Amino acid sequence: MTAIDWKNVLTVAEENARAAGVEARYHTRAGSAFEVPFGDGYQMVLVPNFLHHFDTAGCERLLALAHAALAPGGRVVIVEFVPNDDRLGPPDAVRFALVMLAGTPAGDAYTYAEYQDMLRHTGFKAATLHDLEPSPARVILATR
């Protein structure tokens, strides 16, 4: 497993890996996910609670990097608040969209249809949406 994040975040993640007894299988690469090489041949790239910070172009840039890092048949796993396509629910996702409107230069809580477009534009296929109960977050899986 390889984690990419800022150094201070990875320090905490490394402590958690040691506590879980998986430090021998846990590797880190410090820096911006847009600049640090991902590597390649992965079966899965997990993108948890990250894409909402960026506009569509930024999301597609990151998803293209994830696509390039995956082996054929590998999957990207996106965990986010995902409002319904009409943006009227679920309530937590709608509230989160307002937080992104007020708190980021261009972020958003994207709908599943918007994620499908981003994934298609970056070469992914077969996207599916799943609830992550009891959490208000949802999971989108897409195959390279």
Domains and CATH numbers, the chain: 1-37 (no CATH), 39-143 (3.40.50.150)
How wide is the angle at C-alpha 95 spanned by C-alphas 89 and 97, nearest 5°? Answer: 90
The percentage of residues in the chain with a pLDDT greater than 70, rounded to a whole number, is: 100
Helix residue spans in the chain (DSSP H): 7-20, 56-69, 91-103, 112-121
- Bin 39: left if φ > 0, else alpha if -120 < ψ < 50, else beta: left
pTM: 0.93
Task: Compute the average pLDDT of residues 86-97.
Answer: 95
pLDDT class of 78 with cuts at 50, 70, 90? very high
Q: Would the pLDDT of 126 be above 90?
A: no
**pLDDT tens for each residue of 26-67:** 999 999 999 999 999 999 999 999 999 999 999 999 999 999
Burial of 118 (0-12, 13-18, 19+ CB in 10 A): buried
